[in-house]
Homo-oligomer: A and B are copies of this chain.
Amino acid sequence: MPRPTLASLAKELAVSRQTVSNVLNAPHRVKPATRRRVQAAIASAGYRPNAAARQLRTRRSMNLGLRLLPSSNGINGAILDRFLHALTEAAQRAGYRLTLFCADSDGDEIRQYQQLLDVAGLDGFILTSSTPNDPRTRWLQERGTPFAVFGRPWDGDGHVSSVDHPWVDVDGAAGTDSAVKMLLAQGHSKIGFLGWSAHSPVGADRASGWERAMREAGLGTHVSALRLEAEDTVAGGAAGAALLGLRGATAMVCSSDSLALGALETLRELTPATLLQGRSPGPTSHAAIVGFDDTPVAAALGLSSVAQPVEDAARHLIRVLTHEVACDGASAPNDLPALDSAAGVDVPPEKQILLTPHVVERIPLPLAAPGSG
């Protein structure tokens, strides 16, 4: 089958070539009904203008950039994999591709932006974190480059600063709040919190949800003694959980699955002798540790964990970014709107959105329970 051309499409639709060209390059000049008819025919005929020629004309590469952060933590890094898959799929459905790059620092990231805009003509970027006065977002905004951030722009006091760029985030405090409520429902009251020792607004957010739920349950007196920070590793979690156990915690909410895994192993040792004063762990001990991120490690060991809706976050990021790209291009005279995101242009997506996670409740594998020895 010969590839459709501007001329063959015009003939088929009984319109002028100029009309087809206008639909591609200056859609505002075409009556909506005609525009929709031509767009539908273009989509179904699979008409593809030569990529490089189109890129020269439209200054649109249909290509979005993402810096691939090094996997700093093997266990929690798994959600990045899910995020990347969802991002790629959502971009593809919207007619965009995803280009990956690496950078050593924020400064290097900016140099990469520059090069990807100059050499590859990328249309916009997904950032996986941002801070107020972030040199990267400032650079992108000054240049007028569309971008969207996964993560809230925290200020130094742990508040979300009011910036006008698009962001999507997951409400970590709501996640730990839900985890506390689940443990309360299981009969626990001395519910500890095991967080990261490294300062991080994300970590502070997660701690705040635990504290809020404890105070709401009238358990505010436990808040100072039962909160502990540890290095974000399995060993850090094991040691931290031992100390929280000595302070009387019978359950723990953790900032990560690494910490939770360490805590789980410690709690299995502590449970019969220290906590339950008996040989047979009761059923409530099973779900007494809640991790964060619902990683494969948590699933494999039957560890409860707060699950981030990373797929929803990825889809929303693509929705809001492709909308920005379309609006950005709309100011240029020779614009080619993305055909498949026509609906998104009519109803602009929310520019800043906070998604709610949920707790996946699991029963740990009973394999290594001390009672079986």
Contact = CB atoms under 8 A, between A and B. Distances in A.
A368 B365 contact: no
Interface stretch (A70-78, A330-338, A342-350): A70-78
This chain's copy number in the assembly: 2
A288 interface: no
Give the dominant DSSP class at A's interface: helix
- Name the residue in A62, A238, A300 with the highest tally of chain B Cβ atoms < 10 Å from its Cβ: A300
Interface string A99-127: 11110000000000001101111000000
Contacts of A297: 75, 296-297, 300
A234 B85 CA distance: 24
A269 interface: yes
Contacts of A367: 238, 265-266, 268-269
B101 A296 contact: no
A197 interface: no
B89 A97 contact: no
Contacts of A48: 115, 118-119
Interface string A54-82: 01100001110000101100110110111
A300 B81 CA distance: 18
Interface in A19-62: 48, 51-53, 55-56, 61-62
A230 interface: no
A236 to B, nearest CB: 12
A371 interface: yes
Given A118-B48, A370-B368, A370-B373, A299 B265 contact: no
Contacts of A372: 269, 370, 373
A85 B67 CA distance: 10
Interface in A293-347: 295-297, 299-300
Contact of A75 (B56, B61, B300): B300
A120 B120 CA distance: 11
A285 interface: no
A68 B51 contact: no
A92 interface: yes
Given A48-B118, A56-B56, A78-B78, 8 more contacts: A68-B84, A92-B101, A261-B300, A268-B368, A269-B367, A272-B373, A370-B370, A370-B372
11 contacts: A51-B120, A52-B56, A62-B119, A70-B85, A71-B82, A78-B78, A88-B101, A261-B300, A269-B372, A296-B297, A368-B368
- Rank and list the top 7 A-B pairs by shortest CB-CB distance, nearest first: A373-B373, A74-B296, A368-B368, A265-B367, A370-B373, A52-B55, A52-B56
